[in-house]
């Protein structure tokens, strides 16, 4: 197939494999004939993100947690693009507080990009910068190409706490106003961003943060085999980041009150084997009913982990600790990749009533919205009574109707085609 053009997707963090909408963006752009350069940070000790399409090229911005040279495949990309061998360390903390700490890191990457961009020979039809730091870096790489904005985390001006955040927000607003289009996950998040950045509504494209469908239920015994669980055990899965905003400490504290035979599995997005936070959780947990999976897996293996559970837990607890744990968390909507993976696997979900997604989950009958973690046990008891799998079928229907990103992404492709015509 003749190339439809070349797009650069700029995501300066080491978590690409666990952000379904970015993986989907690369795959669907390639499916539509675009060559895609994925600029991202790779993580020492973890396999590189892998794609089947030959049109998708990984372009490392550096290897986090490694002083030695990166793997040969990444060295080749670095040589081809004229980058230094290792960029500054990325924000790898286990909570949203680390994203704020990564702003200064993003500035260092931008300075590096500006020193190298003039020597690069690749011409782009468009670059897409992810979040404020990725947007700024994409502009440093653009060499005159249009730069679109992909907003994953809302950095709202009235919730900023530091001078670095305020400076970053000023740059985000100015660059977002220049973007030919801005991708955000749903209408509620779109309104917050558009009002704060002064964007016309028709500039926005709404694409849920979700893997490609269709939804299906494909149960496995993975967790039973890994942890030696009894055959009758049922698994509630908490996957992803850990931090106060996830309610994980309250969840662990309430497990002894859960009806038998429910157990909790905590699977982390990062390598947390040496985490002091996890050790504190472990010390408070009942080892017979709380089990820890502390190594991330490639996204190709992640579905098996979700399929091995019976319900997904996704609590989002707003706090004033960070600019990213306020409206960004409360208005989670269709931006939760964790919720999307669980629903696509046909698992009912338990979330908290304070989040914007809770009314939709309740109305669709595919899960429960609890006031706090103390009510999770009641929800589990209700799920145990669902022998006919009604909640599972409703979960699949909710994903297919509300979350499958393919139809929504067609508008991104249309906007990109419009840029070529305009050029």
CA neighbor of 40 nearest in space, from 118, 92, 1, 93? 92
Tens digit of pLDDT for each residue in 266-317?
A: 999 888 988 999 999 999 999 999 999 999 999 999 999 999 999 999 999 9
In this prediction, what percent of the chain has a pLDDT beyond 90? 77
Tens digit of pLDDT for each residue in 115-166?
A: 454 445 689 999 999 999 999 999 999 999 999 999 999 999 999 999 999 9
Q: Where is average pLDDT lowest: 102-111, 160-169, 172-181, 387-396?
A: 102-111
In this prediction, what percent of the chain has a pLDDT beyond 70? 86
Query: Is residue 59 a contact partner of residue 124, using CB atoms and an 8 Å limit?
Result: no
What is the rounded CA–CA span in Å between residue 140 and residue 157? 23
What is the rounded CA–CA span in Å between residue 72 and residue 85? 11
Coil, helix or strand at residue 11: strand
At residue 68 the predicted structure's pLDDT band, cuts being 50, 70 and 90, is very low
Q: Does residue 24 register a pLDDT over 60?
A: yes
At residue 93 the predicted structure's pLDDT band, cuts being 50, 70 and 90, is very low
Half-sphere exposure of 331 (CA within 13 A, CB side): 19
Q: Does residue 23 register a pLDDT over 70?
A: yes
Q: Does residue 196 register a pLDDT over 90?
A: yes
Q: Is the pTM of this model over 0.85?
A: yes
CA neighbor of 384 nearest in space, from 291, 314, 310? 310
Look up the CATH superfamily of 5-211+405-422.
Glycogen Phosphorylase B; (3.40.50.2000)
State the pLDDT at residue 122.
Answer: 80
Q: Where is average pLDDT lowest: 1-15, 89-103, 182-196, 403-417?
A: 89-103
Q: Where is average pLDDT lowest: 89-98, 184-193, 353-362, 413-422?
A: 89-98
What is the rounded CA–CA span in Å between residue 402 and residue 197? 26
Domain boundaries, the chain: 5-211+405-422, 222-403
State the pLDDT at residue 81.
Answer: 39
Please give the CATH number for the structural domain made up of 222-403.
3.40.50.2000
Q: Where is average pLDDT lowest: 102-116, 341-355, 359-373?
A: 102-116
Q: Give DSSP secondary structure letters for 112-168.
A: HHHHHHTT-----SEEEEEHHHHHHHHHHHHTT--EEEE-SS---GGG--SHHHHHH
């Amino acid at each position: 197939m003749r190339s439809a053009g070349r797009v650069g997707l700029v995501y300066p963090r080491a978590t690409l494999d666990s952000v379904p909408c970015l993986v989907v963006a690369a795959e669907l752009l390639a499916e539509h004939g675009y060559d895609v350069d994925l600029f991202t940070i790779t993580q020492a000790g973890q396999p590189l993100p892998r794609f089947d399409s030959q049109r998708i090229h990984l372009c490392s911005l550096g290897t986090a947690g490694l002083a030695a040279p990166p793997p040969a495949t990444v060295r080749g990309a670095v040589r081809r693009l004229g980058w230094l061998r290792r960029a500054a360390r990325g924000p790898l903390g286990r909570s949203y507080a680390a994203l704020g700490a990564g702003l200064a890191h993003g500035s260092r990457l931008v300075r590096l990009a500006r020193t190298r961009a003039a020597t690069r020979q690749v011409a782009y039809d468009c670059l897409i910068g992810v979040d404020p730091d990725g947007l700024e870096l994409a502009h440093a790489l653009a060499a005159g190409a249009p730069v679109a904005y992909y907003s994953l985390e809302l950095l709202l001006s009235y919730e900023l706490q530091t001078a670095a955040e305020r400076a970053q927000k000023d740059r985000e607003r100015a660059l977002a106003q220049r973007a030919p289009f801005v991708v955000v996950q749903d209408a509620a998040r779109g309104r917050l961003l558009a009002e704060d950045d002064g964007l016309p509504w028709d500039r926005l494209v709404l694409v849920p943060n979700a893997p490609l469908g269709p939804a299906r239920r494909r149960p496995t015994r993975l967790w039973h085999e890994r942890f030696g669980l009894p055959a009758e055990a049922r698994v509630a899965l908490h996957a992803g980041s850990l931090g106060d905003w996830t309610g994980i400490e309250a969840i662990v504290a309430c497990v002894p009150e859960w009806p038998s035979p429910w157990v909790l599995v905590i699977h982390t997005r990062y390598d947390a084997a040496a985490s002091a936070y996890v050790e504190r959780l472990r010390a408070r947990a009942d080892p017979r009913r709380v089990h820890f999976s502390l190594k991330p897996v490639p996204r190709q293996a992640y579905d098996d982990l979700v399929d091995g559970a019976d319900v997904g837990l996704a609590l989002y607890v707003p706090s004033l600790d960070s600019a990213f744990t306020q409206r960004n968390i409360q208005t989670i909507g269709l931006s939760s990749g964790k919720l999307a993976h669980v629903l696509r696997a046909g698992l009912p979900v338990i979330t908290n009533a304070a989040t914007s997604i809770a009314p939709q989950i309740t109305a669709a009958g595919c899960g429960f919205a609890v006031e706090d973690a103390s009510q999770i046990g009641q929800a589990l008891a209700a799920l145990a009574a669902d022998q006919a799998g009604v909640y599972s079928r409703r979960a699949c229907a909710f994903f297919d109707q509300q979350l499958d990103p393919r139809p929504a992404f067609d508008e991104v492709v249309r906007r990109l085609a419009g840029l070529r015509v305009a050029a």
